[in-house]
A and B are shown apart, each in its own frame.
Chain A
Amino acid sequence: MGVLQPENITVINQERRNLTMKPEDLWMIGIVAFCILFTATFGWGLWG
């Protein structure tokens, strides 16, 4: 493997940025996880 040139690193970083999740994606995942866990707390007996 050759040494990465700066311009290639820029391309890789650009691609990585494109793959990075946006804030709304993270919010959606977090919220759905919260909803599932919150519902589960009733089954776990946390509400008496």
Chain B
Amino acid sequence: MSGVTWVYIMLGLYIVYAFYWGIKGYVTEKTSSGYAIGGRSIPFIAFLMAATAASFSGWTFIGHPGLIWRDGLAYAFASFYVLTIPITGAFFAKRNWLLGKRYGFITPGDMYAYYFNSEAARWLTVLTAFLYSMFYTAVQLMASAALFHWVAGVPVIFGAIFMAFICWFYVCSGGMKASAWVGVLQFILLVGGIIILGYYVITSEAIGGWKAFSDHVNALDKRFLDVPRVINWGIGAAKGEVAWTAVMCLTYMFALMGIQSSPAFTMWNFGQKSPAPLAWQQTFMSTFVVGFALFYFTAFQGMGAKVLELQGVLKFTKDSDVVPILMKTYLPPFVLGIVFMGAIAAIHSTAAPYINTGGSILLRDVYWRYIRKQQASHSEQIWVNRILATVVTAAALIVGLNSTAALVILGALATAFGFVQYIYLMGVHWGFRFPAVGANLGMLAGMVAVFLTYYVWPNPLSMHSAFWGVFAAIVVAYLCRGVGVKDDAETIKRQNEIRAFLDSIDSPTPAGRTWRNAMKWVVPIWYFFAIGPACIWGNNAFSFAGFPPLWSWQIAWWILGIIMMWALCFKAEMSTCTQVMLERAEKDKMIVVKEA
């Protein structure tokens, strides 16, 4: 059978699995929160795998190797997002769950509006969620259409509509829990697909195994093997150099830290049955399993494509062509079907949660609260939620099909906007003291700064817009405090009550506190050396097993990063829970959000 036949067979099996969970959710989910956040009962294994799959989009599968081909090993520092995405979860996820459980929050807007006693916080979060969901979903759907076109020859418009339909069906019919259970399979396909493709590239006849590959890579132009400089004192990259200065590597990771601080992920935390999977997801599934796929196998694909291009074996015109061409050239028919599904799974695993949470946030924060004045039944909410999720999907498709050139920009803006949500999360979960007005103005200033430093003056000092966004947000928030803006008595009372609750239920043990104090030094030091200014030393520091120096640096700091995440999540107790905590969370309720 041909590769295309296997592609359709695998796609058929995948559709059966996805639709099964969609229809099952349609039959079983009967409440608004049951549909929107899985009834706060997403089980351990489903969250463990689905949250990991959702964190790493189709762009990881298709775009990441392509950019390594284009920019070389300096860009491969982006693989460190296997650690920087879940580290946001280590900071906030457990406390998201605790507050969701106690106060009955369904959307992040509920939480921020309650804590800051300000509906402006809700609206800014709705705006972030809508932009994020629409643009990020658009990027995913168009990527799936492009791949479908490359591999099976399906026209892009038809492919985009077909791929959107699959995702839309299981999300709209089954809600968050269906999305989570489909995510389990998607995680396996995603990681398996990356590893398989990398393996076939490195062992292909044209490359000839590791020794030959290593010799070719080490002989490449320095442009593809080095970080060009620590910082560029100007706008964007220095002339003739790749954009990936050391500070760009660092601040780009800040942008991707925005994935788990985005409204969608906060809702996923509300949907968990318990916080028990968090530490395992952050340390092992994300940092180790996905890291294993990225640090070795995507780099094989990207650098392999460069070697094959220089040998005249393959020709690539743009970075997004790299993975589809490698797939078509080096994979046997059956394996092509598997890897194609890996790519589609990666794309859907990200699009689905954003469609689901985008619809739910519009439903709860706009329709239910402002249009129906908190008077709609469960059934009405579920059906309107489905309609709004359809609107998000349709908007994503329209944006995707009509403004392809702007898509990459819009997708990157989305994650940077997500990172600006740190301003709210820092206040709610860790008691950073700035007034509600400061938090809202800071959020607004951060979004404006992201837009300006991405679009108008791209990357000042060669630093990503996500950095400038959060920098502006923090400066504005504290300026408001500095000029004497104060919260009213009701707001202060709410905030003190939440602080007292979190301090009583989530204080570390003496051993945990010691680890936390150590991690306050260890984490910044790791950032500084692994992906910060000191990563320039990786150009010549050491080399092992045939890997060029910068690649060796990345592998060594990734392994140290696994140890750091283990210490942070488990030993410093940032993501662990105790039986006492779980029992208290079940009983100690103070519901402030009406569900229906």
Contacts and interface: CB of A to CB of B under 8 A. Distances in A.
Contacts of B202: 47
B208 A48 contact: yes
Contact of B545 (A22, A27, A28, A43): A43
A36 B559 CA distance: 8
B210 A42 contact: yes
Nearest to A28: B566
Given A27-B284, A39-B544, A39-B545, A48 B209 contact: yes
A43 B292 CA distance: 17
Interface in A2-32: 22, 24-25, 27-28, 31-32
Nearest to B547: A42
A35 B6 CA distance: 33
A40 B547 CA distance: 10
B11 to A, nearest CB: 32
Given A25-B566, A25-B570, A48-B211, 5 more contacts: A31-B284, A35-B288, A36-B559, A38-B292, A38-B296
A48 B210 contact: yes
Interface string B117-150: 0000000000000000000000000000000000
Nearest to A36: B559
Nearest to A40: B545
B211 A43 contact: no
Contacts of A28: 283, 562-563, 566
A36 B544 CA distance: 11
Interface residues of B, number: 26
Given A42-B546, A48-B210, A35 B279 contact: no
B38 to A, nearest CB: 26
A13 B555 CA distance: 40
List of 6 A-B pairs having minimum Cβ-Cβ separation, nearest first: A48-B209, A43-B545, A47-B210, A42-B545, A28-B566, A24-B570
Interface residues of A, number: 18
A32 B208 CA distance: 29
B203 interface: yes
Contacts of A38: 292, 296
B13 interface: no
A45 B559 contact: no
Contacts of A32: 559, 562-563
Contacts of A35: 288, 292, 555, 558-559, 562
Label chain B's interface by main secondary structure.
Answer: helix
A12 B286 CA distance: 38
Interface of B: 202-203, 208-212, 214, 279-280, 283-284, 288, 292, 296, 544-547, 555, 558-559, 562-563, 566, 570
B45 to A, nearest CB: 15
Given A24-B283, A28-B566, A31-B562, A47 B547 contact: no
Given A31-B284, A31-B288, A48-B211, A43 B544 contact: yes
A5 B259 CA distance: 57
Contacts of B562: 28, 31-32, 35
Contacts of B210: 42, 45, 47-48
A45 B211 CA distance: 7
A39 to B, nearest CB: 6
A27 B114 CA distance: 40
A42 B212 CA distance: 12
B194 to A, nearest CB: 15
B570 A48 contact: no
B341 to A, nearest CB: 25
A38 B208 CA distance: 19
A25 B292 CA distance: 19
Given A27-B284, A39-B544, A39-B545, A48 B279 contact: no
A26 B283 CA distance: 13
A32 B555 CA distance: 11
A40 B296 CA distance: 13
10 contacts: A24-B283, A25-B570, A32-B562, A35-B555, A35-B562, A38-B292, A38-B296, A39-B544, A43-B544, A48-B212
A32 B288 CA distance: 9
Contacts of A25: 566, 570
Nearest to B552: A39
A27 to B, nearest CB: 6
Contacts of B279: 24
Nearest to A42: B545
A47 B207 CA distance: 12
A41 B296 CA distance: 12
Nearest to A48: B209
A28 B568 CA distance: 12
- Max chain B Cβ within 10 angstroms of own Cβ: one of A36, A38, A39, A45: A39
A18 to B, nearest CB: 11
A8 B501 CA distance: 39
A25 B210 CA distance: 33
A5 B125 CA distance: 63
A36 B288 CA distance: 12
A25 B202 CA distance: 33
Contacts of A39: 544-545, 547, 555
Q: Which residue, of A40, A45, A47, has the highest number of chain B Cβ atoms within 10 A?
A: A47
A21 to B, nearest CB: 11
A39 B214 CA distance: 13
Given A27-B284, A35-B292, A42-B547, A47 B559 contact: no
A45 B279 CA distance: 36
B551 to A, nearest CB: 10
Contacts of B283: 24, 28
